[in-house]
Every structure is written in C-alpha cells, then in structure tokens.
C-alpha cells in the first residue's frame, strides 16, 4: 500500500487568536482525485435523502457525478427530518447510490423542513466521541446529545431543538474572528494539527493538498469552536511533534485490504480513524484522549 505521503513534517504554527494551527507538509502529495460533499451538491451532482422508511442512523446519498465523493467524520448535513453528522469518513462512489451511516445532531426535532443541505464540520471534541463510541454503538447517540448539551452550556448558547448547527450559528461572529485575517496555508500543506492553551485539539491529514485546500477554512472554523473553551487554559506547549509521530507509527503498522475501509487507530494519549481507498490512505483524523 502507498503511504499517505513521504517525509511528513510540521511547519511553523499560524496564530489565530488562542488557536494555533500547525501545517503538516509533504514531499509527495499527489494521488487520488476526490470531490467534496459541498462542491458535489453545489454543482447539482449529488443529493442526500431520507430513506423510504426514514431512520435516525442512515440516510441516502445519490452521486450523479463522475468523481467519488469524500465524506469526513463529523461532517454535518442539515434539514429533512433532523440534522445529522457523518458517523465515519467514507467514500461515495461515482454514479451510484449509497446508504451513509450518520448520527443525529439535533435531539429535539423529527419533522420535515425541506431537503438536506451541507453544514459545518463538527468540532474536534464531538468527533472524538464518534470514534470512541463506535465500538459501543448502544450509547453513541446519547453521548452525542449529551456533548451538544454540554457545549451549549459552556458557550452560553441556546437552541430550541438542541442542535449543533445552532451553536455554530449563534457563535458565527466569534468564530469568524479567528479567520478574519487568515488567507491560506501554503500549497504543500496536506493537513493540520490544532492546539489551544496546553491542549492538542486534534489533527486532520489528507491524501494530497488539493483535497485539504477544498475544506481548509471550514475545517479551521470547527477547531475554532473548540478553542473558545480554552481561552485561559495555560500556555504549556503540547507535544505536537510527538502527536504526529505517534499517529504515523500506528499507520505504518496497518495492513488493510484493497477495498474501502475505515480503521480505528489507537495510541498513547491518541484515538483516531483512517480511511483507506484504492490501496491509499485518504484521510486520517486523530484526537487527544
């Protein structure tokens, strides 16, 4: 299997208020061409639907485009009967229909309000729960609802339906301040690690810089929502290089089959997942535990 890239390295951090973004660079960052959910739906080449008999934990994606579509763990899909988030990173093949595993991110609604739209990326703390609880499915949904309630409390936001989307909407101006002077990381960037205070929030790494660039600002906004909780949490420098090294030490031990796979990764103080497609690592997300 091909490595996700060769000679990974960490660049100098970009300071966005109390959020530090460490770019991850690669010497060789070519590879798979994939579309994002947002660009596919904007172009009219894809849509989400409720199943004929609607279920909380599955929705249908119809990909009419000629490119496979990358869906990232925690990616939000709003509307229809209730807002959902993608349960695991996955690929929707071109010109096919697929049932997509999801989790409800809006506890207080089961009422049709129109077709699905794209939303935000879930903040790292919530995404870590998706991975932590994926092997104990019986309490995953309840834990996600509890986390959204906790987030509403600490951010002093309100939502009539306990919706994660409403948290982002209520704090939109505050989150936008994080990226008001941000342009983009350099063209060799294939991912980021985000820290706030003395905490590593998490990291996302992609097969190539083209994939990363498509979602850069949206991804950083999700990290900013978590960073809001760590305005006064100390200044000790977390071990970012160790976090990345641990992640790749785990990846180097994986021997996946050639079919599309989502594999949980575990290490000292780290929990994550990796998506494998056509014998390549496509996306890795990892979070501190």
Evaluate whether residue 192 is within a structural domain: yes
Evaluate whether residue 2 is within a structural domain: no
Evaluate whether residue 3 is within a structural domain: no
Mean pLDDT over each residue of the chain, to the nearest integer? 91
The pLDDT tens digits for 217-252 are 999 999 999 999 988 766 678 999 999 999 988 888
| Domain span holding position 16 | 9-288
- What mean pLDDT is predicted for residues 153-170? 97
| Domains of the chain: total | 1
Evaluate whether residue 251 is within a structural domain: yes
CB 238 within 8 A of CB 202: no
Position 172 scores a pLDDT of 97
pTM of the predicted model as reported, rounded to 2 decimal places: 0.94
Evaluate whether residue 31 is within a structural domain: yes
Evaluate whether residue 95 is within a structural domain: yes
Evaluate whether residue 81 is within a structural domain: yes
- What mean pLDDT is predicted for residues 32-47? 93
Position 87 scores a pLDDT of 95
Which residues fall within 8 angstroms of residue 142, CB to CB, at 6 or more apart? Answer: none
Band of pLDDT at residue 84, cut at 50, 70 and 90? very high
Closest of 58, 83, 89, 84 to residue 71, by C-alpha: 89
User: Rounded to an integer, what is the distance from CA 170 to the centroid of its chain?
Assistant: 20
The pLDDT tens digits for 53-65 are 999 999 999 999 9
- What mean pLDDT is predicted for residues 66-87? 97
The pLDDT tens digits for 260-279 are 789 999 988 899 999 998 88
The dihedral built from the CA positions of residue 257, 258, 260 and 266, taken in this order, carries a sign that is: positive
Closest of 15, 12, 32, 1 to residue 189, by C-alpha: 12
Evaluate whether residue 181 is within a structural domain: yes
Q: What is the DSSP string of 40-69?
A: HHHTTSEEEE--SS-BTTEEEEEE-SSS-E
Place of tokens 């820290």: 195
């Amino acid at each position: 299997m091909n490595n996700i890239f060769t000679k990974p390295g960490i660049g100098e951090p970009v300071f966005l208020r109390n959020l530090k973004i460490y770019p991850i660079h690669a010497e060789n960052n070519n590879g798979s061409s994939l579309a994002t959910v947002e660009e596919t739906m904007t172009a009219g080449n894809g849509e989400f639907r409720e199943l004929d008999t609607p279920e909380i934990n599955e929705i249908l994606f119809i990909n009419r485009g000629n490119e496979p579509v990358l869906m990232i763990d925690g990616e939000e899909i709003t509307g229809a009967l209730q807002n959902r988030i993608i349960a695991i990173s996955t690929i929707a093949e071109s010109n096919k229909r697929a049932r997509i595993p999801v989790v409800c991110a809006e506890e207080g609604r089961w009422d049709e309000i129109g077709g699905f739209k794209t939303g935000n990326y879930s903040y790292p703390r919530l995404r870590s729960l998706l991975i932590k609880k994926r092997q104990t499915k019986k309490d995953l949904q309840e834990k996600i609802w509890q986390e959204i309630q906790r987030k509403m409390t600490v951010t002093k936001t309100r939502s009539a339906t306990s919706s994660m989307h409403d948290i982002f909407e209520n704090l939109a101006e505050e989150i936008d301040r994080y990226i008001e002077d941000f342009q983009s990381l350099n063209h060799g960037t294939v991912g980021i690690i985000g820290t706030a205070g003395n905490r590593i929030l998490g990291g996302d790494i992609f097969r190539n810089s083209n994939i990363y660039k498509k979602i850069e600002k949206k991804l950083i906004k999700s990290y900013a929502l978590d960073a809001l909780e760590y305005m006064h949490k100390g200044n000790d420098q977390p071990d970012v290089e160790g976090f990345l090294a641990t992640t790749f030490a785990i990846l180097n031990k994986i021997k996946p089959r050639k079919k599309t796979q989502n594999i949980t990764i575990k290490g000292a103080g780290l929990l994550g997942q990796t998506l494998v497609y056509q014998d390549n690592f496509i996306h890795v997300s990892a979070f501190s535990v």
